[in-house]
Amino acid sequence: MNFYKNKKILVTGGTGMIGRSLVKSLLNDGADVTIVSLDDFRSDNKELRFIKSDLREFSNCINLCKNKDIVFHLAGVKGSPDMTKKKPASFFVPTITFNTNILEASRRCNVENVLYTSSIGVYSPSKNFIEEDVWKTFPSENDRFAGWAKRMGELQAEAYSIEDGYSKISIVRPANIYGPHDNFDPNNAMVIPSLINKAINSKGILDVWGDGSPIRDFLFADDCADAMKLILKKNITYPINIGSGTGVSIKKIVEVIVENLPEKKLEINWDTSKPSGDKIRLMNIDKIKKLGFVSKVDINQGIRKTIEWFKSNNNNHEKRYNSFLEN
């Protein structure tokens, strides 16, 4: 039996990278899906409902959550670590408000299952991020505002469980997710979309911050969506990491991008005057592996698919809502 068939589902941030992968999969499952976002969005799929709404207004969140069986809360502020350092309030305040409002609205409307999207940013720098270790340390200085904002959402879910017995919130901590429909704005994008944008629009030299040595866990968006569905279906209410379990260096990422753009004949300029970031940030994925999750798209396939999409949708990032520019 298909768990999601005919379920009334709200996906916040449904126009984003992970959201689009998740929505497509849920529609294939026969779910009744409503997405909410501040982006301008059009779809030819008559089975999909789109609502443009601001989650900073609590009344909007109550209206969105009414009569829903499931809420996937993916909405957030997308931006690079450098941008969140420059404009921390533009990241921190709306993130806290989105999370507080949607989780409280879900509780008041007695939504049967809720998935809260936390972040790899909740962790302190480590070679191996283990779920239980979060509260023994502090978020990395490079992720201070993002990390604490996401931690507050996790605490809110735990508080409901303790006080009200509302234990219906799954908490996921995704690794570095990438893929089509990402934020490719070079001014505030994450590493893979930023490098793809710069490489495709380069005049022959690809400038890369640091020396390429940092190692990260990258996961393709479709795989992340599959993991989210699995966790909610199994009603897992303890925090759980979502990742590939494989470390990839920034140097390797750059090499794969360059290999997939042979026509550009790119020369790489490693700008070691700029910070490289934390040396290593890897997910321990033992818990999700025990649930049966296996990522399907490796880094070479994922970057190739992302480049192909971006070539067909160049400048798409200019149409996305940007919290760092708008109030």
Give me the pLDDT at residue 44, please.
Answer: 63
Sheet strands (E) in 29-154? 32-37, 48-52, 70-73, 113-117, 126-129
Q: Is the pLDDT of residue 79 over 70?
A: no
pTM equals: 0.91
What average pLDDT does range 76-92 have in this prediction? 75
CATH architecture of 8-181+216-248+280-298: 3-Layer(aba) Sandwich (3.40)
- Of the pLDDT bands very low, low, confident and very high (cuts 50, 70, 90), residue 204 is confident
- Predicted local confidence at residue 78, as pLDDT: 66
pLDDT digits (tens, 9 = 90+) for 166-194: 999 999 999 999 999 998 987 778 899 99
Over residues 91-106, the mean pLDDT reads 94
Residue 270 pLDDT exceeds 80: yes
Helix (H) / strand (E) element for 156: namely: helix 144-164
The domain limits of the chain are 8-181+216-248+280-298
Burial of 180 (0-12, 13-18, 19+ CB in 10 A): buried
pLDDT at position 76 over 90:
no
**For residues 236-263, b (16+ Cβ closer than 10 Å) or e, as one string?**
bbebbbbbbbbbbebbbbbebbbebbee
Q: Smallest Cα–Cα separation from 241: which of 143, 147, 174?
A: 174
Q: What is the mean pLDDT of residues 247-272?
A: 93
Which of 69-78, 79-88, 237-246 bottoms out in mean pLDDT, i.e. has the lowest?
A: 79-88
CA 131 to chain centre: 17
The confidence score (pLDDT) of residue 319 equals: 56
Question: Dihedral, CA atoms, 55, 57, 58, 62, nearest 10 degrees?
Answer: -60
Residue 31 phi, psi (nearest 5)? -80, 155
What is the pairing mode between strands 48-52 and 32-37? parallel
Under DSSP, the state recorded for 2 is -
Task: Give the angle 75-243-13 at the CA atoms, nearest 5°.
Answer: 10
Using pLDDT thresholds of 50, 70 and 90, give the confidence band for residue 20.
very high
Residue 93 and residue 152 in contact, taking contact as beta carbons nearer than 8 Å = no
Nearest to 296 by CA among 220, 234, 229: 220
CA angle, 234 as apex, 228 and 236 as ends, to 5°?
Answer: 75
**Structure-block tokens of residue 296:** 């399907």
Closest to 114 (Cα-Cα) out of 163, 148, 151, 68: 68
- 215: closest CA among 249, 245, 244? 249
pLDDT at 74 over 80: yes
Q: Residue 207's beta-bridge partner residues?
A: 269
Mean per-residue pLDDT for 129-136?
Answer: 92
Q: What is the pLDDT of residue 315?
A: 63
Give the per-residue pLDDT at 126: 79
> To 10 degrees, the CA torsion angle through 9, 189, 182, 236?
-40
Across 182-196, b (16+ Cβ under 10 Å) vs e yields: bbbbeebbbbbbbbb
- What mean pLDDT is reported for the chain? 90
Per-residue confidence (pLDDT) for residue 324, from 0 to 100: 43
Question: Residue range 80-107: average pLDDT?
Answer: 86
pLDDT in tens, 28-55: 999 999 999 988 777 667 779 999 999 9
Alpha helical stretches, state H, 234-271: 250-259
Across 220-239, average pLDDT: 96
Q: Tokens 């609590």 label which residue?
A: 58
Measured in whole angstroms, how far is the alpha carbon of residue 183 from the centre of its chain?
11
Question: In this predicted model, what pLDDT tens digit does every residue of 304-326 receive, in sequence order?
Answer: 999 999 999 876 655 555 554 55
Instruction: Name, in order, each residue with C-beta under 8 angstroms of 80's C-beta and a sequence gap of 6 or more.
Output: 188, 189, 190, 194
- pLDDT tens string 274-300: 877 778 888 999 999 999 999 999 999
pLDDT band of 150, cuts 50, 70, 90: very high
